[in-house]
Structure 1
Amino acid sequence: MKAYPKTSGMRQLTAAESLAVLMVLGMMSSPARAEENEDTFTPYARGLYGYDSNLFRLQNDQEANAVLGTTDTSESYYTLAAGLDMNLRVSRQVIRAHAEYNQTWFNQYRQLNYDGRDAYLKWDWLVGSRAKGDVGIAEKLTQASYANVKKPVSNLIRTRQRFFNAAIKVDNPWLVKLGAERVDTDNNASVQKALDATVDTVHAGVQYTSGKGSTVELISRRSDGQYPNRQLVGLDPVDNGYRQWDNGIAIAWAPTGKTQVSGKLNYTQRNYAEVPHRDYSGLTGLLAMDWMVTGKTTLKASLHRDIGALENDTASHTLNQGIALGADWKPTAKLVFNAQLSHDDISYTGDPGFALSTAPAREDQLTTVQAGLQYSVLRNTRLGLMLKRGVRDSSEALSSYGYNSAMINLRSEF
């Protein structure tokens, strides 16, 4: 297997120097925040320094030596970004905009350096007293995950989104809701072109709101996925196009002033244009609860079962079932701590590679634990720290891994 040597060149910033850059950003003066009903124009700068003990998610030293030419799987990187957020009121209408340009540099694998961007433009519209909604466009360019590529190959993913949503009050307490969305995803790495996709979604539903603010919604959603580049499975080119229906119910309920419960339950059907053995039909859903134990402490829990691509590793779906537990603690007005533990069981029954063979489908278990804090250094300057540990156990050879990561970031508005 080809080794990827580490590159050298101009001297890289050390961790201390990177943090110094972030602190300089934090010293930028900034005015007080505007009131919610006022027009706002908020430029900002942010910086991030990150470390990952196993960036390419390799299983052991033997695999690392074969892929990287070394057993050292760690890497550090830093990101600098500038952007702006804008809210503009025109009578009862609100125009919202966001734009950011960012650059990321890696300390060892410099061929992965990239320029990214993130932008959207949205109109929150209101017609009379009965109809409201939003319409907008968004685009994001960022580096793909290395979790399944497992080598230092750059793949920038460009995601473009166009959407329209409306809610029409027909009679208290009833709302009719409808919307449409198109998402285009493009990969610039030739080996990932099979993942290029266009997904068109339309949805409609009816929502009931109780006198205490709880809601129940009946909803139907149809998604059509088109993949212009066929996925090569062995010698067979496979079309991953599909049609998916999600029909179900969604609720939001506050049983007490300190407890929020939300959830959805759907009957989901996904049918593929080719290799129908991987079609899916069954229940999917989410159940989440937030409990404000005290004015400073909130506990969170959620259960989910859904289908979709995990970490963009395949154009077909995986069946994901998992649980997450979390906690937020705000000891002061300037400081917030948070922690989360999650576990997912992942089945690759939707992968055409397994559907076309007699081999058992791949099964993974992914467990992550993370802890972090947010601290308001100045009026509009926030410092963040995140520590994370992840472990994946897989039935497929060389697909298990473990990693530790840390990120420190600073954002200043002015």
Structure 2
Amino acid sequence: MTLTQPNSLRPLALTLVGFACLAAGSARAETSPYYIGASQRFAHNSNVFLNTDALAKSDTISSTGVRLGIDQPISRQRLIASFSANANRYSSLSALNNTDYALDTRLDWETVDRLSGNVALSSRESLPTDAAALSSGLRNLLKVNSASVQANLGLVTMWSFDAGAAVSRASYSEAVYARNNTNQMSINAGARVTPASGLTLRAGLRHANVSYPNASNDVRRNDLDFSATVNPGGASVFNGRISLTREHQSLVDRNLSNWTGALGWNWKPTGKLSTNLSLSRDSSNGSYDFSTGTINVGSSNSTIATTLGLTTQWEVTSKIAMVGNLSHARRSLDNSLTIGTGVTPASASDSTNSLGLSVQYAVLRNVDLGCGVTWSERSVSSTGATALTAPYSATTYSCFGQALLR
């Protein structure tokens, strides 16, 4: 990776000056609920468009970013907000130059009558990570706006109740992908019971509507959820969910009636080592993330995806941390949601393996440096559905620096 070009050195020099100023301030500043910072990342991607190996195009990307945030308690409430933006510049594929951003706000609230909950708003835009939206070589940005509200009522007994709603809108900047634009809405309600210390059980209902306005198609999804969290009091915490999921599509007969769900295991044997193992099986339309209060906006072509992931973090010293992750995903695909009437859907399936390793060094309390490498490979069971998926392999090397003033 060559970093000696003037165009590459300019953002690096400016960022290093900013790092020096922020570092000088951070050495004296007391911790506050606010922070402001700057970052610089250089990455080399061996397959930018996640295309077949014969058509792979590599490039070096410079990303110069800003960071803003607040984490402020307000009486019984707590306001959390963050904003980040990055100017991404490609050395060769300059048509892909873009500025991504992410804005997240969340208000956690609580009353004296055992009523609590949260309200969250999010807006973000970036190049999509789905290979099907990158293979054309266009600068096809994906913009997602979402909002959610969740309320919990805890009683004096071991019972509690929850309810919530979420909406999201996803749109692509290139007109050729407009048929994949979606508007989603989801509502949920459930009851929890804690029959013993360290054990929580929940049963609930979910309903979601997913509209494809440029394809004149709609999906209705209903879920019956059963979940559990088990904390035996040691180094492990277990959680699981199983759902009876039914989907109905208005335009094409792609109805789904199947079991979906997730399993998780958090293991922290020491204060320096932690591991998270997760397994999920779900469809892409209308799946709801209870931890973030958002609706999944994954590829509309995915009918069912099964994902196994493992993440391990090791604090080697008080200043050095290593993170490793490993994942395997299998998808069943078709394009029936976006092709319109009178067209026979194509179908395919693929498997993707990913491996990553990164090292981070805390130079000062608010100044971090790090490097990492990620590798991914996808295999496809059918070669006749290249519009849906394609085999590829990609390796990305990156190094970054970040400084925050609190």
Calculate the TM-score normalised by the size of structure 2: 0.86
1:271 paired residue number? 248
Deviations 1:183-223 (A, max 9, x none): 01121110111111110010001112355343211121111
In the TM superposition, what is the alpha-carbon distance from 1:73 to its structure 2 partner?
Answer: 1.5
Deviation at 1:348, TM superposition (A): 1.1
Is 2:379 the counterpart of 1:393? yes
Q: Secondary structure at the residue paired with 1:332?
A: coil
Alignment partners' CA distance in 2, 1:121 and 1:302:
26
Q: Over residues 19-50 of structure 1, what are the superposed CA-to-partner deviations in whole Å (9 max), with x where a residue is unaligned?
A: 65554444322157877xxx611112122211
> Amino acid of the residue matched to residue 221 of structure 1?
R
CA pair 97-190 structure 1, distance change in 2 beyond 3 A: same
* One-letter amino acid of the counterpart of residue 358, structure 2: G
In structure 2, distance between residues paired with 1:369 and 1:21: 33
Matched-pair contact (CA < 8 Å) for 1:178–1:203: yes
- Greater mean alpha carbon deviation, residues 73-82 or residues 87-96: 87-96
For 1:242, the equivalent position in structure 2 comes to: 219
Structure 1 residues 221-370: aligned runs within 5 Å: 221-230=206-215, 239-276=216-253, 278-308=254-284, 314-349=299-334, 351=336, 361-370=347-356
1:379 matched to 2:370: no
Gaps of 5+ in 2: 288-295
Structure 2 SS opposite 1:13:
helix
Deviations 1:251-302 (A, max 9, x none): 22122411111111111111111111x2111111111112223332233322
Residue pair 1:349, 1:355 contacting (<8 A) in 2 also: no
Q: 1:306 to 1:40 in 2, by over 3 A?
A: same
Counterpart-to-counterpart distance in 2, 1:376 and 1:40? 20
Of 37, 44, 49, the match for 2:37: 44
Could you say what secondary structure the match of 1:171 adopts? coil
Give the distance between the partners of 1:227 and 1:354, measured in 2 at CA.
11
SS at match of 1:193: helix
How much has 1:129 moved relative to structure 2?
3.8
> What residue is the counterpart of 2:167 in the other structure?
182
**Which residue of structure 2 lines up, in the alignment, with residue 76 of structure 1?**
60
Structure 1: distance between partners of 2:311 and 2:83:
31
Aligned partner of 1:170 in structure 2 is: 155
Q: Is 1:335–1:373's contact at 8 Å kept on the other side of the alignment? A: yes
Q: How does 1:106-255 map to 2 (within 5 A)?
A: 106-145=90-129, 147-148=131-132, 149-230=134-215, 239-255=216-232
* RMSD (CA atoms): 2.8
Q: How has the CA–CA distance of structure 1 residues 405 and 312 changed in structure 2, closer, same or farther, with 3 Å as cutoff? A: farther
- Give the partner amino acid of 2:403: S
Tell me if the contact between 1:46 and 1:412 (Cα under 8 Å) persists in the aligned partners: yes
Please state whether the residue corresponding to 2:316 is helix, strand or coil: strand
What's the counterpart of residue 7 of structure 2? 12
How much does 1:140 deviate?
0.9
Query: d(CA) in 2 for partners of 1:297 and 1:137?
Result: 33
Q: Secondary structure at the match of 2:222?
A: strand
Unaligned runs of 5+ in 1: 1-9, 65-71, 231-238
CA positional deviation for 1:362: 0.6
**In 2 relative to 1, CA 275–13 (structure 1 residues): closer, same or farther, beyond 3 Å?**
same
Say which is worse superposed, 160-169 or 72-81, in terms of deviation: 72-81
Matches of 2:371 and 2:148 in 1, distance apart?
A: 33
Shifted more, 381-390 versus 311-320: the winner is: 311-320
Shift of 1:250: 1.7
**Number of residue pairs aligned between Structure 1 and Structure 2:** 382
Separation in 2, partners of 1:190, 1:343: 32
Question: What is the CA–CA distance in structure 2 between the aligned matches of 1:222 and 1:362, rounded to whole Å?
Answer: 28
8 Å Cα contact 1:354-1:360 kept in structure 2: no
Offset at 1:80? 1.3
